[in-house]
Amino acid sequence: MALLDITDLRVEIAGPGAARLALVDGLSLTLERGQSLGLVGESGCGKSMTALAAMGLLPPGLRARGRLTLDGEDLVTASEPRLCGLRGRRLAMIFQEPMTALNPVRTIGSQVAEGPRRHLGLTRRQARAHARAVLDRVGLDPGRFPPGLYPHQLSGGQRQRVVIAIAVACGPELLIADEPTTALDVATQALILDLINDLVAERTMALLMISHDLGVIAETAPRLAVMYAGRVVESGPTARVLAAPRHPYTRGLMGAIPRGRGAPGAPLAAIPGVVPAPDRRPSGCAFADRCPRADAACATTPALRPDTSDQAVACHHPHERPDPTGSVAP
Ligand SMILES: Nc1ncnc2c1ncn2[C@@H]1O[C@H](COP(=O)(O)OP(=O)(O)OP(=O)(O)O)[C@@H](O)[C@H]1O
Ligand code: SF4
Ligand SMILES: [Mg+2]
C-alpha cells in the first residue's frame, strides 16, 4: 500500500446553487514509503492546494473531495482532532515563507518542543532537550543560536532551518515541502536543499517536494509529476522525463529554464499566455490555448496514460520518445 495515495482529488470552492469551482481538478498521484516525488508547475496550477488538502489545512470555504489516504487512512473525511493527531507526528509540512510559518512571539526552542510534548509524550524538560538536539541537527548550534531566541533574531535561512526542525521533530513518515527555498538567496537555497535531502535519507521519510523550479526537483526527487491547471499532465522518473519530455507543457517549462538547452545568450522560449484561472479553463485540454500542437481532438480532456517506459502523459499528441526502445542516456 502506498504511503500517500491521491486519486481524483478535487479542491473546490462552493458557488451559488450547485456550482462548484475546482482549484484542483482530478489530481492523482502516489508516493511510496521513503520515496521522494517532485510536484512541479507554474504559479496557480494548484500545487499548494494539493499540499494543504493532504495536511487537512485548506482555507475556509474550500473543501476536498476524492480519495486522499495516508497509509490507508482517509484524510478527506478525518475529523479535526484526528488530523491534529496526525499532523506533526506522521505527516508534516515545510512552508514557503519561514517568517509567516513561525510564531513571532514565541522562542524557537518552545516552537520546536511543542510537537514532541504533544505527540511523543515528553515532559517539558525532555521536550526542551529534544528541541535543542533537533535545532543542532538542522544547523543551529545551541551555542550560537540558543533556543531562547525569537524568529526576528534570525536570518531567512536560519528561520527556514527552524521550520524544518519543527517539521521533523516528531519523525514524520511524510514530509511535504512547499517551495521551501523560494524565499531564499541562491547560496542559502542550496544549503537548505542539502539539509532536506540529508534528513530525508537518514530518517527514511517520504518527501513531496513542491516547486516551480525543475532544477530544485532534479536535485531532490527521483520521480516527478508535472501539474497544469489542477491536474497531473506528465509523470515518471525525473531523469527520463527531463531527458525526453513528452507533454508540450513539460517541454515548455524546460525551454523556459535559464540554464536549459540552447546556446549561451539564446533567448528563453517562454510559454505564451498564462495559466488560466480556475473559472476560465478551456473545456477539454486546459493547455489548449497555449499549446502549439492543439487541434480539434484537444476539445476532449486527455487522460493520464502510462507508456511502456514508466512515463505517463495526458496529451492527445504527445512528443515521441527519442528512440523506439525508450532508453534514455543517463
Ligand atoms: N483561498 C482561496 N480561495 C479561492 N481560490 C484560491 C484560494 N487560494 C488559492 N486560490 C486559487 O487556487 C488556484 C491554485 O492556487 P495554488 O496556491 O495551489 O497555486 P500554486 O500552484 O501553489 O501556485 P504558486 O506557485 O504561486 O504557489 C489559483 O488559481 C489560486 O488563485
Ligand atoms: S491534448 Fe492537445 S492541447 Fe493538450 S497538450 Fe496535448 S496537443 Fe496540446
Ligand atoms: Mg503555492
Q: Which CATH number goes with the domain that contains 83?
A: 3.40.50.300
Same domain assignment for residues 23 and 131:
yes
Dig out the grid coordinates for 79 from the structure. Answer: 475529523
Q: Is the dihedral of CA 254, 258, 262, 266 positive or negative?
A: positive
Q: What pTM did the predictor assign?
A: 0.93
Q: Quick one: 136 and 24 in the same domain?
A: yes
Is the residue at 229 inside a domain?
Answer: no
The range of the structural domain enclosing residue 243 comes to: 236-262+272-330
Residue 3 burial by Cβ neighbours in a 10 Å radius (0-12, 13-18, 19+): buried
For residue 227, being part of any structural domain is answered with no
The answer to whether position 205 is within a domain reads: yes
Please indicate, yes or no, whether residues 169 and 208 belong to a single structural domain of this protein.
Answer: yes
Find the 117 Cα to ligand 1 centroid distance in Å: 33
Which residue is closest in CA terms to ligand 1's atom 7? Answer: 59
DSSP letters, 135-164, are: HHHTT--TTTS-TT--GGGS-HHHHHHHHH
Whether residues 111 and 143 share a domain: the answer is: yes
Number of Cβ within a 10 Å radius of residue 267: 6
Read off the DSSP letter of residue 113. H
Task: Give distance in angstroms: CA of 72 to centre of ligand 3.
Answer: 26
Sheet architecture: strand order including 206-211: 91-94, 174-178, 206-211, 36-40, 223-228, 231-237, 312-313, 305-306
Q: Does 18 reside within a domain?
A: yes
For residue 196, the model assigns a pLDDT of 96
Verify that 185 and 247 share a domain, yes or no: no
Instruction: Summarize pLDDT for 18-77 with one digit per residue, the tens.
Output: 567 999 999 999 999 999 999 999 999 999 999 999 999 999 999 999 999 999 999 999
Q: What is the DSSP letter of 260?
A: S
- The answer to whether residues 90 and 28 belong to one domain is yes
Distance of alpha carbon 316 from its chain centroid, rounded?
26
pLDDT of residue 150: 98
The gap from C-alpha 191 to its chain's centroid, in whole angstroms, comes to: 19
Q: Looking at the predicted structure, is the pLDDT value of residue 260 above 50?
A: no
Q: Grid coordinates in use for 108?
A: 524557537
Is residue 10 domain-shared with residue 44, that is, in the same domain?
A: yes
- Ligand 1 in contact with 21 (CB < 6 A)? no
- Alpha carbon of 208 to ligand 2 centroid (Å): 27
Is residue 34 domain-shared with residue 61, that is, in the same domain? yes
